[in-house]
């Protein structure tokens, strides 16, 4: 039996979970804890870009950055590192690329059932447990005004479709994927490279999202607008007027006091991007020109 790596022990400590044998219930615990512990954020991406580091951190770096800076990441980082932890714990699985530009995880049995399950810690979606998407049943996952669904694609036989909704409307381009088209991190090199181009979606704004299920809510920062949404559909949006306001909101509401948001905002300003004067229209991910496909990572 291989030695359990130190970074994986620190990872579990961060999640406040013990090491257990692989099982569907344990995977559910891990999914739920991950969405509440590691934020979906692009602060780290902005600072990596500023410093010329255009690659995904290793699991060791990921845990270190979480402890010392409260980093999480976007989909490539969060799901690659989460998959590394799951493999260290004895689960079997690979990455998939819904829509060609989003990274998610498929975990196979024998510990999770007869069919693969969909796991996603990098979509800001309420996927608090693995989804047996190949089986019959309702695969909608709602939380307040947001929800996601995994269904068979009407356009591509044997493909499945991830659809994200806000207030009942499709919020981002629908993502199709084939469950047999599995990927490893090197297969994502072109998508990752494109996500670090200067005009990439998450290099031109500030975005932080965290679920806080003990308070029955999520907290979302889009540029200088702070949104707090509850499971009953109640939402409150507060405009923030200074970097100090943003720092206070991230520390107090998101409980991420070590996240270096000031550095991220200043790095955007140095590139001529003022988040306090950004358009206030609803933002959706732009198509990645280099890949000719949507990407949110």
**How far, CA to CA in Å, does 195 sit from each of 20, 120, 135, 208, 288?**
35, 19, 33, 17, 8
pTM of the model: 0.93
CATH 3.30.1120 residue spans of the chain: 197-289
**For domain 197-289, which architecture applies?**
2-Layer Sandwich (3.30)
Q: Report how far Cα 34 is from the mean position of its chain's Cα atoms.
A: 10
Query: Which residue in this structure is represented by tokens 């998508």?
Result: 191
Average pLDDT (80-96) is 98
CATH 3.30.2140.20 residue spans of the chain: 6-192
Instruction: Kindly tell me if the per-residue pLDDT of 285 is higher than 70.
Output: no
Ranges of beta strands (E only) in the chain are 40-41, 92-96, 104-108, 117-119, 140-143, 146-152, 160-166, 169-170, 175-177, 207-212, 217-222, 225-230, 235-239, 287-288, 293-294
- pLDDT single digits (tens) 121-148: 999 999 999 999 999 999 999 999 999 9
Q: In the CATH scheme, what is the code of domain 6-192?
A: 3.30.2140.20
Name the nearest CA neighbour of 296 among 195, 169, 226. Answer: 195
DSSP classification of residue 56: P
Cβ neighbourhood burial of 41 (10 Å; 0-12, 13-18, 19+): buried
- pLDDT single digits (tens) 9-51: 999 999 999 999 999 999 999 999 999 999 999 999 999 999 9
């Amino acid at each position: 039996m291989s030695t359990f790596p130190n970074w994986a022990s620190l990872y579990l400590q961060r999640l406040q979970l013990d090491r257990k044998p692989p099982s569907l219930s344990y995977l559910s615990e891990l999914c739920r804890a991950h969405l509440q512990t590691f934020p979906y954020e692009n602060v780290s991406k902005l600072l990596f870009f500023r410093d010329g580091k255009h690659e995904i951190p290793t699991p060791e770096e990921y845990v270190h950055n979480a402890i010392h800076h409260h980093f999480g990441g976007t989909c490539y980082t969060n799901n690659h590192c989460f998959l590394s932890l799951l493999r260290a714990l004895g689960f079997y699985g690979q990455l998939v690329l819904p829509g060609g530009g989003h990274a998610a995880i498929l975990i196979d049995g024998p510990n999770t059932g007869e069919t693969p399950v969909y796991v996603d810690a990098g979509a800001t979606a309420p996927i608090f447990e693995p989804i047996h998407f190949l089986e019959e049943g309702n695969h909608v996952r709602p939380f307040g005004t947001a929800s996601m669904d995994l269904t068979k694609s009407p356009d591509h036989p044997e493909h499945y479709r991830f659809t994200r909704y806000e207030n009942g409307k499709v919020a981002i381009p629908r993502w199709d994927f084939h469950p047999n088209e599995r990927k490893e991190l090197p297969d994502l090199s072109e998508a990752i490279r494109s996500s670090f181009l200067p005009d990439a979606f998450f290099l031109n704004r500030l975005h932080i999202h965290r679920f806080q299920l003990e308070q029955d809510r999520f907290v979302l920062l889009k540029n200088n607008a702070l949104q707090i949404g509850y499971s009953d559909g109640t939402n409150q949006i507060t405009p923030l007027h200074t970097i100090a306001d943003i720092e206070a909101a991230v520390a107090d509401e998101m409980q991420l006091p070590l996240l270096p948001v000031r550095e991220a905002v200043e790095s955007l300003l140095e590139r001529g991007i003022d988040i306090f004067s950004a358009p206030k229209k609803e933002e959706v991910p732009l198509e990645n020109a280099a890949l000719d496909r949507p990407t949110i990572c």
